[in-house]
Structure 1
Amino acid sequence: MKRKGLKITGAIILLILVVYAFLPRYAQRALIYLTVDIDDYKIFNNREVVAADPEPWEKDALYGEVKIPDNWVDSLAQYNTVAYAIIKDSMLFLDEYWMGYSDSSYSNSFSAGKTIVGFSILSAIDHGFIESLDQRVSDFVPEYDNPENKDLRIRDVMTMSSGLNWVESYGGLFNTTTESYYGSNLMSLITGLKVVEEPGKVFKYKSGNTQLLSLVLENATNMTMSDYVSRYFWTPMNAQYDALWSLDKKNGVEKAYCCFNSNAKDFARWGELMLSHGNWNGKQLVSKELMTEALTPATYLVGEDGDPVDYYGYQLWILNYKGMHIPYMRGILGQYVFAIPEKNMVVVRLGEKRSRTYINHHPKDVYTYIDLALELTK
């Protein structure tokens, strides 16, 4: 009986190995790693986003004196927070770190990186690489010059209303999102998409939109995403550390819809750019007009629930809370950069989890991080 049991076990293992061997490479990698992680830059090839003019934040007079109360620490720990930082009046007010992370530790942006791509498109318009948001995607992506895709506008892609047949799914092994994350041919995935619903009408969040924007930018500027962001943002914004942008393969393309790896204090610079309407130390990195558009909800769209979209602009989320209009960057594991104009404040939270409960299209935990910042700075 024991020998028979060993034979059955061996047969099952052999069958699993045979099935595994015939899986697509991206599915094999997904099975190896099982879940995404904030340290996934270690399993990917990366391209540096160079910080050629680093300058640390000036510190607020209260920096080092204000501490997070114990009752709030428990709230932060609930979702495995690794970093929490506040920039107030353009000065570092507070930053704290947990779980072995520090002010220079890399952490994956996940979808918070979408905002970086959105700002890059706006910058490319300002610099004349792109005519306007109403220019056709097919002007830059020849594969889209077909009856289905030829009228798709950049604006529709920016507002997640492209109508493309990308399926945004995080639970399955065989889906576009999994293939984009663990696969090695993002170009093929993106150029093979088709418009299947009328663009510019319905908001449907799809990571493929952001990846398409990166292809538009690269073809318009003849620069990689990393090089463009380094030249037009990361260096002018005086980022303190080089960032890493994960690629689909060695010398490949950036996983632009995610996977911009940096630290809390440097991520905060994107929030500061929102507060200043695109200006950094007197230099307009994004024109005030376009930045204002980006931070304005696309209410002419409707969500899948049929209600006007008052919670999304150009590749960023918008929260209305306690009378405040708060645009913010958001990643799947609770990567947040909040810009709070009414308080002239930026709040950054990085970590490994976020709430699965939503309040008005926003994860429940976002209110915790904002309330904490309001209490600490009042």
Structure 2
Amino acid sequence: MKRFLIWFFGIIFLCIILLLITDNAYILKGIRVVYFTGHSTAFIDDYSYFENETILASTHPQPWQKHEDFGTLTPTETLSEANKNYETVAFLIIKNDSLIYEQYADGYGITSQTNSFSMAKSITSALLGKAIQEGYIKNLEQPVSDFYPQFADTDMTVGDLSSMSSGLNWDESYLNPFGITARAYYDDDLAETMLSLKVVDTPGQAFKYLSGNTALLAMVLQKATQQPLSNYLSKSFWQPMGFEQPALWQVDDETNRLVKAYCCLSSNARDFARFGKLYKDFGKWNGKQLIDSSFVAQSIQPRFESSPEYGYGFWLSDYNNKEIFVMRGILGQYVITIPEDDLIIVRLGHRIPRTKIDNFTTDFYLYVDEVYAMLNYL
């Protein structure tokens, strides 16, 4: 046994040395954050293991109004079972801009902060719209090389980053610990990682979902606005839209403090829902145009006929012949907005099903169907 332990710890030591030598030490952080906490992947409460920028609550909070039928709706048996199986921690229904249904579970509540995961991509795209409106960026066709000469030999534009058509050689693999997705999540100096990428496909020609697009877009926005993206988010949306709670946005390290704009904005269900309302109302909030309406309209329509599932920062669906736009995160984080029925559905939780229909896992369709059943639409 003694000899075995010597060999065992010797091998571990050599592996650690090898990871350090090959610049893969971030894997050690991944192991500590994920496996040593009893998880098998990134999880909704992992923000406490990273450096974060704080986005303060609005100085003039604007709570959601309660619908006259608030507290009267009962979840369907199918919805209750799904929420149990997929470990839903927050489920909200907002009808006609009023909160009509709200349920929390497992100790989570109104103020609980959980990881947005890729819902943050939609918010980062909204910041692009704001930067265009304020003149920091010319338009969707402005070349990325205007901000980063490393891409001077390409035709990649800021719009290509937002619409997932950059042609970058990013590998969107969540299982490979040596891949760039894991490195971006757990390593320091995210900018160094991003600027090592190359454009290998013609930009602006086809949709290909890559988190690296949004990470690079964040760098462009910071350079264009000359301020941290968390500050720009606070001034652009958090303050004027009356966000009730502070939020945390993960950054790469304590020195560089570049936000992980493709993910990792920790907020609550009520506040995430505000972006659904903002885009439902074409960028207007309480009578003030926060983003140009034409940018919003373009964002929630497909850029490519061959890829009707995505616009600029938002997933799209025509389920039940309704035009639906969606903020979506990897563990089933959703802000589902159905403008024609003035309806917003928010779901936050730990798990999603593995089965998929078209471009969404089956839980998406279930949530839509069961909410309509609760509201007696069908």
Using structure 1 for the length normalisation, give the TM-score.
0.94
| TM-fit CA distance, 1:71 | 4.1
* Corresponding residue number in structure 1 for 2:342: 344
| TM-fit CA distance, 1:21 | 3.5
| TM-fit CA distance, 1:70 | 4.1
> Residue 258 of structure 1 aligns to which amino acid in structure 2?
C
* Corresponding residue number in structure 1 for 2:301: 296
Identical columns (%): 39
Candidates 277, 281, 287, aligned match of 2:292 = 287
CA distance in 2, matches of 1:313, 1:202: 12
Cα deviation digits, residues 307-337 of structure 1 (max 9, x gap):
x101000011001111101000110000000
CA distance in 1, matches of 2:373, 2:343: 13
The residue matched to 2:311 in structure 1 has which SS?
coil
Using structure 2 for the length normalisation, give the TM-score.
0.94
Cα deviation digits, residues 134-160 of structure 1 (max 9, x gap):
010111123323x2x3x2111111111
* Corresponding residue number in structure 2 for 1:11: 7
CA distance in 2, matches of 1:321, 1:195: 34
> Residue 9 of structure 1 aligns to which amino acid in structure 2?
L
Contact 1:112 1:329 in 2 (8 A): yes
State whether structure 2 residue 71 is matched by structure 1 residue 73. no
* Corresponding residue number in structure 2 for 1:141: 148
| TM-fit CA distance, 1:22 | 2.9
> Residue 52 of structure 2 aligns to which amino acid in structure 1?
N
CA distance in 2, matches of 1:124, 1:97: 35
Q: Which ranges in structure 2 are unaligned for 5 or more consecutive residues?
A: 36-40
> Residue 58 of structure 1 aligns to which amino acid in structure 2?
Q
The residue matched to 1:110 in structure 2 has which SS?
coil
CA distance in 2, matches of 1:347, 1:213: 27
State whether structure 2 residue 44 is matched by structure 1 residue 38. yes
Cα deviation digits, residues 288-308 of structure 1 (max 9, x gap):
1110000001224xxxxxxx1
CA distance in 2, matches of 1:236, 1:12: 57
The residue matched to 2:10 in structure 1 has which SS?
helix
> Residue 61 of structure 1 aligns to which amino acid in structure 2?
E
The residue matched to 2:131 in structure 1 has which SS?
helix
* Corresponding residue number in structure 1 for 2:373: 375
CA distance in 2, matches of 1:105, 1:22: 39
Candidates 87, 92, 95, aligned match of 1:85 = 92
Candidates 200, 204, 208, aligned match of 1:204 = 208
Candidates 221, 231, 234, aligned match of 2:225 = 221
CA distance in 2, matches of 1:364, 1:21: 43
* Corresponding residue number in structure 2 for 1:168: 172
Cα deviation digits, residues 148-178 of structure 1 (max 9, x gap):
x3x2111111111110111110001101000
| TM-fit CA distance, 1:259 | 0.2
Candidates 260, 264, 270, aligned match of 2:265 = 260
Candidates 11, 16, 20, aligned match of 2:16 = 20
> Residue 278 of structure 1 aligns to which amino acid in structure 2?
G
* Corresponding residue number in structure 1 for 2:38: none
CA distance in 2, matches of 1:69, 1:364: 17
| TM-fit CA distance, 1:241 | 0.4
State whether structure 2 residue 185 is matched by structure 1 residue 181. yes
The residue matched to 1:277 in structure 2 has which SS?
coil
The residue matched to 1:99 in structure 2 has which SS?
coil
> Residue 57 of structure 2 aligns to which amino acid in structure 1?
A
| TM-fit CA distance, 1:43 | 0.4
> Residue 160 of structure 1 aligns to which amino acid in structure 2?
M
CA distance in 1, matches of 2:120, 2:265: 6
Contact 1:141 1:215 in 2 (8 A): no
Candidates 319, 322, 326, aligned match of 2:320 = 322
What is the root-mean-square deviation in Å for CA atoms of aligned residues?
Answer: 1.2
Deviates more, 1:18-27 or 1:176-185: 18-27
CA distance in 2, matches of 1:170, 1:356: 14
Cα deviation digits, residues 270-300 of structure 1 (max 9, x gap):
1111210111110111111110000001224
* Corresponding residue number in structure 2 for 1:102: 109
> Residue 51 of structure 1 aligns to which amino acid in structure 2?
A
Contact 2:207 2:304 in 1 (8 A): no
> Residue 185 of structure 2 aligns to which amino acid in structure 1?
Y
> Residue 210 of structure 1 aligns to which amino acid in structure 2?
T
CA distance in 2, matches of 1:56, 1:142: 44
Candidates 117, 122, 127, aligned match of 1:120 = 127
Contact 2:76 2:373 in 1 (8 A): no
* Corresponding residue number in structure 2 for 1:303: none
| TM-fit CA distance, 1:363 | 1.1
Contact 2:156 2:166 in 1 (8 A): yes
* Corresponding residue number in structure 2 for 1:59: 66
